[in-house]
């Protein structure tokens, strides 16, 4: 790994993820507020590391691989914490996690084969929407931890544990499934090579 600033920021997201997770499920409202701030810092580094890499021409193969992996680690920690807090159901989160880490294993194989995986614009939009959704829920949790009971005439916790939250994360899961289809189409040659490699191992 080349330790430039963009790659270090990606690594910071991986470090933030477990710290965020421990703090957000704590009954201590101060820890909860710290967790919310930490996640937002991590989400901001996702934008910042890409911007810095492009601006200072520090784009590396390691960075191209590790940056989206760091996103997945941070996002997964948030979704699992929401499951523990009973905000969203486990089965929806499993769809998102299996999809995200499935594509990560595909990237690992692609790198070993010398054929980089092409990421679709829909997949990039999916990650941005996931970050936005998580930030929205954490903002409500943050306000609730401050003792705010209503927001625009609505109970804060009722908004968190609402049908809107459920259907929004359901849409995100559906988008994740759609991007799998795109990955198969865009990277069909790579997947064919992967299938042949697995088949030859079985022989």
> pLDDT-derived band of residue 26, with 50, 70 and 90 as boundaries?
very high
Average pLDDT over residues 111-131: 74
In contact, 40 and 135? CB cutoff 8 Å: yes
How many CB atoms neighbour CB 46 within 10 A? 21
pLDDT in the model for residue 46:
82
Q: Does this model's pTM top 0.95? A: no
Domains of the chain in start order, with CATH, are 5-202 (1.20.120.1760)
């Amino acid at each position: 790994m080349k330790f430039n600033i963009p790659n270090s920021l990606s690594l910071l997201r991986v470090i933030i993820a477990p710290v965020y997770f421990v703090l957000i499920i704590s009954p201590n409202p101060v820890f909860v507020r710290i967790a919310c701030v930490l996640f937002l810092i991590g989400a901001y580094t996702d934008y910042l590391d890409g911007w810095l890499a492009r601006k200072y021409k520090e784009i590396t193969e390691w960075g191209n691989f590790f940056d989206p992996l760091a996103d997945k680690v941070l996002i997964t920690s948030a979704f699992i914490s929401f499951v523990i807090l009973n905000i969203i159901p486990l089965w929806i989160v499993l769809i998102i996690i299996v999809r995200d880490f499935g594509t990560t294993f595909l990237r690992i194989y692609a790198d070993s084969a010398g054929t980089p995986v092409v990421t679709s614009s829909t997949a990039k939009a999916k990650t941005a929407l996931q970050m936005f959704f998580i930030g929205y829920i954490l903002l409500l949790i943050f306000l609730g931890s401050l003792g705010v009971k209503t927001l625009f005439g609505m109970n804060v916790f009722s908004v968190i544990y609402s049908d809107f939250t459920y259907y929004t994360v359901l849409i995100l899961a559906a988008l994740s499934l759609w991007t799998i289809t795109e990955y198969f189409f865009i990277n069909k040659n790579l997947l064919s090579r992967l299938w042949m490699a697995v088949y030859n191992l079985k022989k």
